Amino acid sequence: MEPPPGCEGAHTPEFYRDTLKKILDEGIPYDSVCFKDASGTSIPQNVYQTIHLARQLLPKEINISFHTHETAGLGVFCCKAALAAGATQLDLSMSPVSGGTCQTDVVTMWHALRGTEYDLGIDINKMLNAEEVLKGCLQEYFVPPEAKTSDPLILFSPMPGGALTANTQMMRDNKILHKYGDVIKEMTDVVKKGGFGTSVTPVSQFYFQQAFNNVMFGKWKKIADGYGKMVLGYFGKTPLPPDSEIIKIAAEQLKLEPTTKNPIDINDEDPSKGTEAAKKMLKAAGITDLSDENIFIAATCKEKGIAFLNGEARLGVRKNVVLKEKKVKTEEAGGYTVSINDKKYSVVIDGNKATVNGKTFNIDIKEGVEVTGTAPTDKSQAATSDNKSVKAPMPGNVLKVDVKVGNSVSEGDQLLILEAMKMETPIKAPCNGVITSITVTQGDPVDAGQVLIWIN
């Protein structure tokens, strides 16, 4: 990782040399060392100096691998610098997935090294044939345009290639991709004030989540859980001390005190984590297979892991599917097709019930008065004028519903959890009352402003 221009004090060649020394001092057996620039933002000269210092520490027979991305268009330069410094392996990729947020293409690197002592020596015709085969295998899959783009602005926001496209796809799904440029601009400040944690998973996501929150809710008005815990020390020590004001804000919002305790000890003290807690989750979900694999999935992914094991996970792979318009003859059933914001809804009214895109609602029709609707009849009671609606603050997906119709709740009680941009947002009761209607279920996508729950 290279800090954004104007940010200094961490992630220097000496920083990585000292980190390598600490790892070697642990006496862990190894036969290879890899330096990974996940965001593709390193200065080529710093790549050279880093690997040169590492080569001086390591035995000659130890393989040094270098991995970078073409996100900023620097891949070839950095790969050549790594080789000159003593690297013995490069991570490359093949078209159509090479370039942009992925690694440099092997054909490009082959050409860049021709006539040098690092000539790859490959049969280029066989490689070209291999790339054509891969193109054929992947032609039906959707590749976001930003995945194939080199963007110099990434230098100011060290976002790893995999995280970049994952985040833009989530923003595309939530119809807020137009905010992406603003989020990227926030990254420099978020990285600088967050202590310069290395921008790979999960820290890269912490950065993006906080930058996203700064754009959507106002600067530092909502501290992302992971980012806040990082600056407070719950994941260990950051390369540099985080900004003192941000530490204060995070402590206030997350209701946590800064700590210097070992993260392993912190986790061991948390009864919601670990093997036994995971087994309890599996049993509560009716999953009887308590294999190590299932325990690991439940422990690391929580509700998402349980949904995956129950076959309810959402598929993230996208294909280039041409949607065919399905004509529904709603007129024959006494229905209508309603268009709202270019989205069509099939509406069928039968007495005091209305079916909208397959979901049934109770309705109250009075002469000369507009129709007022409630939640689905199979989940709720009819809404009244005394009901207070709880709406989604942003687009997302329902991760978990914590209440049932008929439950009494107090102001501030958690009603459900929305997930958006890999962040869990608790939705809390705005008042005391009784749950009269729940209009969503786990896994449902929701739009900003959509009513989730009614409280009377």
Higher per-residue pLDDT: 189 or 175: 189
Average of per-residue pLDDT across 310-331: 63
CATH superfamily of 157-269: Conserved carboxylase domain (1.10.472.90)
Residue pair 392/427 in contact (Cβ under 8 Å)? The answer is yes
- CATH no. of 330-455: 2.40.50.100
Instruction: Pinpoint the residues of the chain covered by CATH 3.20.20.70.
Output: 1-148
The string of pLDDT tens digits covering residues 349-399 is: 766 677 775 566 666 555 444 444 444 444 444 444 467 889 988 778 888
Instruction: Pinpoint the residues of the chain covered by CATH 2.40.50.100.
Output: 330-455
What global pTM score does this model have?
0.72
E strands in 71-194: 89-90
CA atoms within a 13 Å half-sphere pointing along the CA-CB vector of 171 = 23
- CATH no. of 1-148: 3.20.20.70
Average of per-residue pLDDT across 140-148: 89
Instruction: Pinpoint the residues of the chain covered by CATH 1.10.472.90.
Output: 157-269
The pLDDT of residue 343 is 55
Q: 286 — alpha (psi -120 to 50), left (phi > 0) or beta? A: left
In angstroms, the CA 274 to CA 272 distance is 7
For helices 225-232 and 203-217, angle between their N-to-C axes, nearest 10 degrees: 120
The length of the chain is 456
Higher per-residue pLDDT: 76 or 359: 76
The pLDDT of residue 317 is 77
The pLDDT of residue 386 is 63
Angle at 359 between CA 433 and CA 386, to 5 degrees: 25
Average of per-residue pLDDT across 36-62: 95
